[in-house]
Amino acid sequence: MAFLENLINGISLGSIYAVIALGYTLVYGIAKMLNFAHGDVIMVGGYVVFNAIVKANLNPWVSVALAVVACTVLGITIEKVAYKPLRKASSLSVLITAIGVSYFLQNMALLVFGEKPVTFTSVIDIPKISLFDGKVVIKGETTAAIIASILIVIGLSLFVNHTQKGRAMLAVSEDKDAAQLMGINVNSTISLTFAIGSGLAAIAGVLLCSSYPILSNTTGAMPGIKAFVAAVLGGIGSIPGAMIGGITIGVIEILGRAYISPQLADAIVFAVLILVLMVKPTGILGKKINEKV
């Protein structure tokens, strides 16, 4: 029974990773860069909700909406200020910049929101579910994370495949220059991608902090990296891949924590990454990218 509970918790954590992984996968697919700062946008989202509820006494739903808006604006700003000037630069420069942005957000948060971690109050009021005469209890946060991630993955797939803007994103991810020639505004498409990814990061932040309520300036870093692992595992660039990868990583982490060693859970997740890269570097649903000669 404990196993079942752990499994469900793993799926729930994995669902949150999936939502974060979507941001990585979209940006990687379209801007061909690893947005290191993505995890830290989650943290900013968490702080916005926390302050909106605790300090400004706003309604939880309004706070979440506020966080989504704030993170979207933040994502677009990061792209415009830090990444856009480097569109033609080497991937090494872009990567270092992204690390710089990530580090900036973490340390800015330290100054703005304080050094002391805060305790996040859950915004979710779904009742808990008891199964098998209360032997298995599923918390409302757990249910919410799973449902939210399923809705997001479905919604995003529909958006990408069936709207004009979504198809423009596909075109840019396939071939930036060709897309430009076809009249697609590449810059605004990249901005849109960052906007969507960051908005999702805000939601992920709320879900994450509701389940794991300690919020500090580095809250987003580890989940961010693990979500990237999830995106790689599922196949970078693939939306359903992010979901599969996310849930796999979440389950591995929770089961590893419960049955192998709590201190080594992170190490196990990273070992999985190294293993995947050795066996199938393109991930479960990924495709090979050929370089032009």
Partner 1 sequence: MKKKLNVQTRKSFVTYALLLIVIIAVEIMVNTGNISSMLQGLLVPICVYAILAVSLNLTVGILGELSLGQAGFMCIGAYSSAIFSNLVKDSITEPMIRFPLAIIIGGICAAVFGIIIGIPVLRLRGDYLAIVTLAFGEIIKNVFAALYIGYDSAGLHISLKSQGDLNLASDGKMIINGALGISGTPNDSTFEIAAVILFITLIISYNFINSRTGRAVMSIRDNRIAAESVGINITKYKLITFGLTAFLAGVAGVLYSHNFYSLQASKFDYNLSILVLVFVVLGGIGSVRGSVIAAAVLTMLPEYLRSINKYRMLFYAVILIVMMICTSNATVRNFFVRNFEKLKGLIIKKKSAGETAKEGE
User: Which contiguous run of DSSP H or E holds residue 265?
Assistant: helix 265-279
Spell out the residues 6+ positions from residue 221 whose beta carbon is closer than 8 angstroms to its own. Answer: 39, 40, 43, 102, 106
Single out the residue of 68, 14, 46, 17 nearest to residue 121, CA to CA. 46
Residue 260 and residue 272: Cα distance in Å, rounded? 14
Size of the residue set binding partner 1 (CB under 8 A): 45
Q: Write the binding mask 216 to 245 for partner 1: x where contact by CB under 8 A, - elsewhere.
A: -----x---x--xx--x-------------
Cβ-contact 20, 42 below 8 angstroms: yes
* Between 103 and 212, CB nearer to partner 1: 103
> Counting contacts by CB under 8 A, is residue 266 touching partner 1?
yes
Q: Which residue has the tokens 């989940």?
A: 223
* Between 106 and 193, CB nearer to partner 1: 106
Can you tell me which of 7, 54, 95, 124 binds partner 1, judged by CB under 8 A?
Answer: 95
Single out the residue of 33, 40, 39 nearest to residue 96, CA to CA. 33
* Between 124 and 273, CB nearer to partner 1: 273
Q: Which residues pair with 118 in a beta bridge?
A: 215
Can you tell me which of 59, 85, 114, 137 binds partner 1, judged by CB under 8 A?
Answer: 85
Can you tell me which of 96, 255, 258, 284 binds partner 1, judged by CB under 8 A?
Answer: 96
Can you tell me which of 58, 104, 117, 136 binds partner 1, judged by CB under 8 A?
Answer: 104
Query: Distance of CA 185 to CAs 33, 73, 150, 164, Å?
Result: 19, 19, 30, 12
> Which region, judged by CB under 8 A, interacts with partner 1, from 104-112, 126-134, 208-216, 249-257?
104-112
> Counting contacts by CB under 8 A, is residue 112 touching partner 1?
no
Q: At what angle do helices 221-234 and 186-211 cross, to 10 degrees?
A: 120
Can you tell me which of 1, 57, 61, 92 binds partner 1, judged by CB under 8 A?
Answer: 92
Question: At its nearest, how many Å lie between partner 1 and the CB of residue 161?
Answer: 26
Interface of this chain with partner 1, residues 15 to 54, rule: CB under 8 A: 28, 33-34
**What is the maximum alpha-carbon separation in the chain?**
64
> Counting contacts by CB under 8 A, is residue 288 touching partner 1?
no
Q: Is 117 left (phi over 0), alpha (psi -120 to 50) or beta?
A: beta
> Counting contacts by CB under 8 A, is residue 291 touching partner 1?
yes
Residues that bind partner 1 (CB under 8 A): 28, 33-34, 82, 85-86, 88-97, 99-101, 103-104, 106-108, 110-111, 221, 225, 228-229, 232, 261, 263-264, 266-267, 270-271, 273-274, 277-278, 281, 291, 293
